[in-house]
A and B are shown apart, each in its own frame.
Chain A
Amino acid sequence: MKIDRIIPAVIAASSILLFGCPPKETTGAGGAPAADEIAIGHLASMTGGQATFGQQTDQGIKLALEEINAKGGVKGRKVRVITEDTQSKQEEAANAASKLISRDNVTAILGEIASSNSLAAGPIAQLAKIPMISPGSTNPAVTEKGDYIFRICFIDPYQGEALANYVANTMKLKRAAILRDVRSDYSMGLSDYFKNTFEKLGGKIVVDSSYSQGDSDFKSQLTTIKGAKPEVIFVPGYYTEIGQIAVQARDLGITVPLVGGDGWESPKLIEIGGKSLEGSFYSNHYHVDDPSPAVRDFVVAYQKKYGTTPDAMAALGYDSMKFLAAAMERAPSLDGPALRDEIAKSAGFQGVTGTITLGPDRNPLNKKLVVLEIKDGKLVLRATVDPAADAAAVTAPVETATAVATETAATK
Chain B
Amino acid sequence: MRNWLVRDLAGIAVISAVLVGISYFLGWIPIPGMAYYNRVIVTIGINIILAVSLNIINGHAGQFSMGHAGFMAVGAYTSAYLTYFHFQPFLATLAEGPGRFALQQALFLGALLAGGAAAGIAGWVVGLPSLRLRGDYLAIVTLGFGEIIRVLILNIDKIGGARGLSGVPAFANFFWVYFFVCIVIIVSWRLVRSQVGRAFLAVREDEIAAEAMGVNTTHYKVQAFVIGSFFAGIAGGLLGHYLVYLNPGMFQFTKSFEAIVMVVLGGMGSISGSVLAAVILTVALEGLRFVKEAFGLTSDPRMVIYAIVLILLMRLRPQGLLGNRELGDFFRRRKGGDR
A contact residues vs B (CB 8 Å cutoff): 1, 3-5, 7-8, 11-12, 15-16, 18-21, 23, 29-32, 46-47, 82-85, 87, 89-91, 94-96, 98-99, 101-105, 115-116, 119-120, 123, 128, 139, 141, 145, 182-185, 188-189
Contacts and interface: CB of A to CB of B under 8 A. Distances in A.
Contact of B283 (A15, A91, A115, A128): A15
Interface string B160-181: 0111101100100000000000
Contacts of B32: 32, 102-103, 105
A251 B73 CA distance: 41
Contacts of A95: 36, 39-40, 43, 286
A21 B338 CA distance: 36
A102 B34 contact: yes
Interface string B3-14: 000000000000
Nearest to A116: B247
Given A90-B243, A188-B162, A7 B317 contact: yes
B103 interface: no
B235 to A, nearest CB: 12
**5 closest Cβ contacts across the A-B interface?**
A103-B33, A19-B287, A102-B35, A185-B162, A185-B163
A188 B296 CA distance: 42
B155 A182 contact: yes
Contacts of A105: 32
B25 interface: no
B80 to A, nearest CB: 13
B144 interface: no
Q: Which DSSP category, helix, strand, loop or mixed, fits chain B's interface?
A: helix
A30 B245 CA distance: 31
B316 interface: yes
Contacts of A82: 293
Nearest to A85: B300
Given A12-B280, A183-B162, 17 more contacts: A7-B317, A11-B321, A19-B284, A20-B287, A31-B290, A31-B293, A89-B250, A90-B243, A91-B250, A98-B39, A116-B245, A116-B247, A119-B247, A128-B35, A145-B166, A145-B167, A185-B164
Nearest to A96: B289
Q: Which DSSP category, helix, strand, loop or mixed, fits chain A's interface?
A: helix
B334 interface: yes
Contacts of B330: 4-5
Contacts of B247: 90, 116, 119-120
Nearest to A9: B330
A394 B39 CA distance: 45
B239 interface: yes
Contacts of B317: 7
Contacts of B299: 46
B313 interface: yes
Contacts of A30: 290, 293-294
B33 A99 contact: yes
B244 A90 contact: no
Contact of A183 (B154, B164, B300): B154
B50 to A, nearest CB: 12
Interface in B163-218: 163-164, 166-167, 170
Contacts of B249: 89-90, 116
B243 A11 contact: no
A92 to B, nearest CB: 8
Contacts of B289: 84-85, 96, 99
Contacts of B291: 18
Given A4-B330, A89-B250, A91-B239, A184 B162 contact: yes
B172 to A, nearest CB: 12
Contact of A98 (B35, B166, B276, B316): B35
Nearest to A141: B166
A120 B164 CA distance: 10
Contacts of A183: 154, 162
Interface string B292-303: 011010011011
Nearest to A8: B321
B313 A11 contact: yes
A258 to B, nearest CB: 22
Contacts of A103: 32-33, 36-37
A47 B302 CA distance: 10
A141 B288 contact: no
A145 B316 CA distance: 47
11 contacts: A7-B321, A15-B287, A32-B32, A84-B289, A89-B250, A99-B36, A101-B35, A103-B33, A103-B37, A104-B33, A145-B166
B283 A19 contact: yes
Contacts of A90: 164, 243, 245, 247, 249-250
A353 B133 CA distance: 56
Contacts of B284: 15, 18-19
B322 interface: yes
